Amino acid sequence: MSSVTASPTSTPSPGPAESPDVTEAVRATARRAQVASRALATATRATKDAALRAMADALVVAAPEIVSANAVDLERGQAAGLSEGLLDRLALTPDRIAAIADALRELAALPDPVGEVVRGSTLPNGLRLRQVRVPMGVVGMIYEARPNVTVDAAGLALKSGNAAVLRGGSAASSSNTVIVQVLGQALTSVGLPADAVQSIDEHGRAGAVALMHARGLVDLLVPRGGADLIQTVVREATVPVVETGVGNCHVYVDAAADPAMALPILMNSKTQRVGVCNAAETLLVHADAAAGFLPAALTALAGAGVVVHGDERTAALAPEGVDVVPATEEDWATEYLSLDLAVRVVGSLDEALEHIRTWSSGHTEAIVTNDLAASRRFVAEVDSAAVMVNASTRFTDGGQLGLGAEIGISTQKMHARGPMGLAELTTTRWVVEGDGHVRA
């Protein structure tokens, strides 16, 4: 998953002109990736799975070296004033590295999407048709402050038969340098090319711009980060882009909600991990449920250190000693990625839906209700990549939905939407078999 506030040290800027030397270096990297992608496209599942397991083992062995490099990144990030949420996403520990390695092993256990027959038939004239999943080829990725994404992207690309060219940003450059080296050595240990996973971090922002313009060499580009980064890539790229989105996610507590169910869903959605794109940023409460739910909810949020930005009706229900900051329109639009939450009391389900239509980023929305008709309306009318009914927004995640690791959460509607797992990193090819058929 993915969405972080863009940092000035990592977001590619449309401003800098491409240096001819950098452009050629990035294009040379992409050409090597193209060659490597041909080897991956024909690799068996057994070989790819062996590579994933070798990568996992190598990361665990190299954990001390990775943590040491990560400490350099963290020190630099603290000096640059990165937020606590960004620092949390940047940090690697031996336990986190072990979890990242386990995710690669889980990928190895998943079915190989390459070669899957999506559909097929035999025409009346005897032609035999199959639409088959095939790799994209070279997948580029631009992201920031998340070294675990380096591993996720490499693993997903490998399993789906693609080579990866990665731009992980200056915030995590020390960590990513070591990680890419470790992954490359693991690949060669099973007979696959190290060029299947490459980084262009050394080329800085100009390298990111060159990657965005490497048309004909990069088959798909995935930006993963804050709104500024994503919109820059979408606006500037000449290669095909999957738009991942920021997570201005909502939890709506309906009139028919059970407060005993709603409170843990809210707290999990908001406070389990604040710096991620599937964390809730806005709470909407039906007026009929507000008096019975909000006092306890506001107390619990305050106890967890959450700053509530609320409307007047929310403030009126706040218990003594619980502060509510007056909410503005900016709050409704904000992906905080911090211990902040916008709260509004709405008069109806219609008002909640209108608020979500106005302010949602199209990522994830949740309804808590025991009213089947209300839940069905919510599911039908909310236009987001994921809709939760009586469940936390935190479940919008490739691993949680059984897809294995994910390369991002797509909030667009073409090609892929929601968590992008293995199948979303493939395209299809039509295979037509005949017996000397010619078209009349």
pTM: 0.82
- 327-342: per-residue pLDDT in tens? 999 999 999 989 999 9
Q: What is the DSSP string of 201-222?
A: GGGHHHHHHHHHT-BTTBSEEE
Residue 177 pLDDT greater than 90, yes or no: yes
CATH code for the domain of 111: 3.40.605.10
* Of 279, 298, 286, 283, residue with least CA distance to 343: 283
Instruction: List the structure tokens of 378.
Output: 């919510």
Residue 245 pLDDT greater than 80, yes or no: no
Asked if the structure places residue 406 within a domain, the reply is no
Residues 225 and 368 reside in one and the same domain = no
Residues 183 and 227 reside in one and the same domain = yes
How confident is the model at residue 406, as a pLDDT?
79
Q: Is the dihedral of CA 305, 315, 378, 334 positive or negative?
A: negative
What is the average pLDDT across 80-95? 90
Residues 36 and 171 reside in one and the same domain = yes
Residues 379 and 428 reside in one and the same domain = no
Asked if the structure places residue 411 within a domain, the reply is no
Residues 36 and 181 reside in one and the same domain = yes
- 318-329: per-residue pLDDT in tens? 999 999 999 999
Asked if the structure places residue 402 within a domain, the reply is no
Residues 79 and 227 reside in one and the same domain = yes
- 392-409: per-residue pLDDT in tens? 999 999 888 877 677 888
Residues 130 and 27 reside in one and the same domain = yes
Average pLDDT of every residue of the chain: 93
Angle at 191 between CA 190 and CA 193, to 5 degrees: 115
Residue 166 pLDDT greater than 80, yes or no: yes
Domains held by the chain: number: 2
Asked if the structure places residue 415 within a domain, the reply is no
Continuous H helices in 167-286:
173-189, 204-212, 227-236, 259-271
CATH code for the domain of 341: 3.40.309.10
What is the average pLDDT across 96-108? 94
Residues 187 and 101 reside in one and the same domain = yes
Which helix or strand (DSSP H or E) is residue 360 part of? Answer: none
Asked if the structure places residue 281 within a domain, the reply is yes
Residues 82 and 218 reside in one and the same domain = yes
Residues 108 and 127 reside in one and the same domain = yes
Instruction: Supply the range of the domain harboring residue 128.
Output: 20-244+420-432
Largest CA distance in the chain: 84
Residues 298 and 240 reside in one and the same domain = no
Asked if the structure places residue 138 within a domain, the reply is yes
**What's the rounded Cα separation, in Å, for the pair 343 and 350?**
17
Asked if the structure places residue 437 within a domain, the reply is no
